[in-house]
Amino acid sequence: GAVVSQHPSRVICKSGTSVKIECRSLDFQATTMFWYRQFPKQSLMLMATSNEGSKATYEQGVEKDKFLINHASLTLSTLTVTSAHPEDSSFYICSWGPPRQETQYFGPGTRLLVL
Amino acid sequence: LAKTTQPISMDSYEGQEVNITCSHNNIATNDYITWYQQFPSQGPRFIIQGYKTKVTNEVASLFIPADRKSSTLSLPRVSLSDTAVYYCLVGDQSGNTPLVFGKGTRLSVIA
């Protein structure tokens, strides 16, 4: 299967600081990718859909000014959590949807802990 | 996107066959059925996908009746390492469509 990487795998930060999470597709290119977050014992929740070269589309309840998405290329996207607060502590997962594929490929996730 | 309903949890002994059924009464004509597996602190991993009848790969089998309103994921001879959450999703599953995850089924395999 296709390989997706995320960096960092885990991060601890102080409240009020910003954290950047990178998501890369290593062996394929795709225009569209997605960011999800997952709280403990819960399912994945879609945060935003991002197309390379366009502004991301955010789900209801997800603040676009707080969760900045930069979809720089067909293989790289970043999610920046600005002015992080403890309630932003979660597991952030990206996925890519290669064209002509009937599945999506997920990254390994990034565990964010805001103190 | 169609909603899915799965059992919240299941227990099984090692070596047994496990069948997890998913209901998707509102599945659309163009929808596929896909199952993902997720271990703690990892991203979901694709297991199997089908449209109708039966699909088998090296990991699992997927049974889909003619009306496609349900599907069953079959895991042969489970081991402790199969303990995970299993998600059933339906949708056109194109690269441009986000996946809507339900609550999934937490499978616990016991020695």
**pLDDT computed for residue B93 by the predictor:** 66
CA triplet A82, A40, A20: central angle to 5 degrees?
25
Residue B110 touches partner A, C-beta closer than 8 Å: no
Residues of A in contact with B34 (CB under 8 A): 102-103
Contact A95 B99 (CB under 8 A): yes
Residue A43 touches partner B, C-beta closer than 8 Å: yes
Structure tokens belonging to residue B71: 């599907």
Measured CA to CA, the distance from residue B56 to residue B48 in angstroms comes to 8
**What is the residue whose two structure tokens read 């949890």?**
B9
pLDDT bin (cut points 50, 70, 90) of residue A100 is: low
- Smallest CA–CA distance from B106 into chain A, residue: A41
In the predicted model, what is the mean pLDDT of chain A?
A: 93
Contact A43 B46 (CB under 8 A): no
**pLDDT computed for residue A102 by the predictor:** 67
pLDDT bin (cut points 50, 70, 90) of residue A1 is: low
Residue A40 touches partner B, C-beta closer than 8 Å: no
Name A68's bridge partners.
A80
pLDDT bin (cut points 50, 70, 90) of residue B2 is: low
**pLDDT computed for residue B97 by the predictor:** 81
Q: How far is A16 from chain B (nearest CA, A)?
A: 25
- Decide if B98 contacts A93 (C-beta within 8 A): no
Interface A-B: count of C-beta contacts within 8 A: 64
Residue B34 touches partner A, C-beta closer than 8 Å: yes
Tell me which residue of A47, A60, A41, A53 sits closest to A21, measured CA to CA: A47
Residue A76 touches partner B, C-beta closer than 8 Å: no
**pLDDT computed for residue A40 by the predictor:** 93
Percentage of chain A beyond pLDDT 70 is: 96
Task: Show which of residues 46-75 on chain A sit within 8 Å of chain B, judged by CB atoms.
Answer: 46, 49
Measured CA to CA, the distance from residue B88 to residue A41 in angstroms comes to 17
Contact A91 B102 (CB under 8 A): no
Structure tokens belonging to residue A97: 């949807």
Q: Is the dihedral of CA A47, A24, A20, A52 positive or negative?
A: negative
B65-103 pLDDT, tens per residue?
999 999 999 999 999 999 999 999 998 767 778 888 999
Measured CA to CA, the distance from residue A39 to residue A49 in angstroms comes to 19
Name A23's bridge partners.
A6, A77
Measured CA to CA, the distance from residue A29 to residue A26 in angstroms comes to 8
